[in-house]
Amino acid sequence: MNEIKIFGHKNPDTDSIVSAIVLEKMEKTLGNTAVKAYRLGNVNKETKYALEYFGVNEPELLEKVEEGQKVMLVDHNGFDQSVDGIENASIVKVVDHHNIAESFKTAGPLYIVAMPYGCNSTLLAKLCKINNIDIDKTMAGLLLSAIISDTLLFNSPTCTDIDKQIAKELAKIADVDINKYGLDMLKAGTDLSDFKPEELINIDSKTYSTNGVKYQVAQVNTASIPDVLSVKEKIENAMNKFMQENSIDLYVLMITDIIENNSQIIVLGKQEIAEKAFNVKIENNTAFLEGVVSRKKQVVPYIDNVL
């Protein structure tokens, strides 16, 4: 119970896994030895590629927390995306790069750092610098992988100059070519061949609640949108099932082309909200969003705006 558990969001992405690992290391270096990194779900193929490349084990799985458990949140703050039992946990620290969610609340005082960078790992790299913590080759490689992942190799509108600058410094320490390594890593994440539809929609999926409307935005990266659309009906069945089981009002699945930097969306539920948000006509449950790759900057705020 004395242990402080560190974790990112459910359906963890590379940034959530790396942020937890690096914050654990940072805390320990600063003398806080009671911390331990966890993951709230399976590690995706892209993250696996990065962990294997730099020889790091994935964190242990955490399914729920008991009342009063001390926790540190990274790469998220909304309770919809956090561990089961978070409402009664004791949040002692948050390091994040998202907006503060409606559902976020703490009973006690806390240490909170939030910066609007394209990646939480950029913020952690900065915190290491501020605290004079040496970033070794392994840590640099992991942090760089997370930045490449969250910014889609600097192509996302969420990417800032700070992300680019820190990534360059990290690539030097990690001794990798950013573009070569980055594309290989992103491509490892687009291998969807052995996913069942219900798994595919859960690789990178987040829940939001705004003004009483509960919605889900999931994203899959691909090098070929038509490949993913070839199983559109099966995907829609899985989305419908998820919506029923979780009382979701609107479900948007972004199928993102990481080469061309566009997204095709499949929308179920209150489609009129999405039509208004993106100013498109949804036909046959789908629409094409040119130049849209970021859930955080190009999708969620527009839905919230309508709501």
Per CB under 5 A, residues contacting Mg ion are: 13, 15-16, 75, 120, 150
For Mg ion, give the closer residue by CB, 188 or 282. Answer: 188
Distance of CA 117 to the CA centre of its chain: 13
- The CB-of-250 to Mg ion minimum distance in angstroms stands at 19
Q: Which residue is nearest to Mg ion (CB)?
A: 15
The CA-atom distances, in angstroms, between 81 and each of 9, 12, 41, 226, 290 are: 5, 10, 11, 30, 27
Taking each helix axis from N to C terminus, what angle separates 161-174 and 120-130, rounded to the nearest 10 degrees?
70
For Mg ion, give the closer residue by CB, 10 or 25. Answer: 10
For Mg ion, give the closer residue by CB, 27 or 150. Answer: 150
Inter-residue contact 239 to 226 (CB < 8 Å)? no
- The CB-of-149 to Mg ion minimum distance in angstroms stands at 7
- The CB-of-11 to Mg ion minimum distance in angstroms stands at 9
- The CB-of-114 to Mg ion minimum distance in angstroms stands at 12
For Mg ion, give the closer residue by CB, 16 or 263. Answer: 16
Q: Give the CA angle between residues 120, 95, 155 to the nearest 5°.
A: 15
- The CB-of-244 to Mg ion minimum distance in angstroms stands at 26
For Mg ion, give the closer residue by CB, 40 or 89. Answer: 40
- The CB-of-230 to Mg ion minimum distance in angstroms stands at 24
Q: Quickly tell me which residue has 């052995």 as its tokens.
A: 194
For Mg ion, give the closer residue by CB, 4 or 119. Answer: 119
For Mg ion, give the closer residue by CB, 13 or 163. Answer: 13
For Mg ion, give the closer residue by CB, 282 or 291. Answer: 291
- The CB-of-14 to Mg ion minimum distance in angstroms stands at 8
- The CB-of-206 to Mg ion minimum distance in angstroms stands at 8
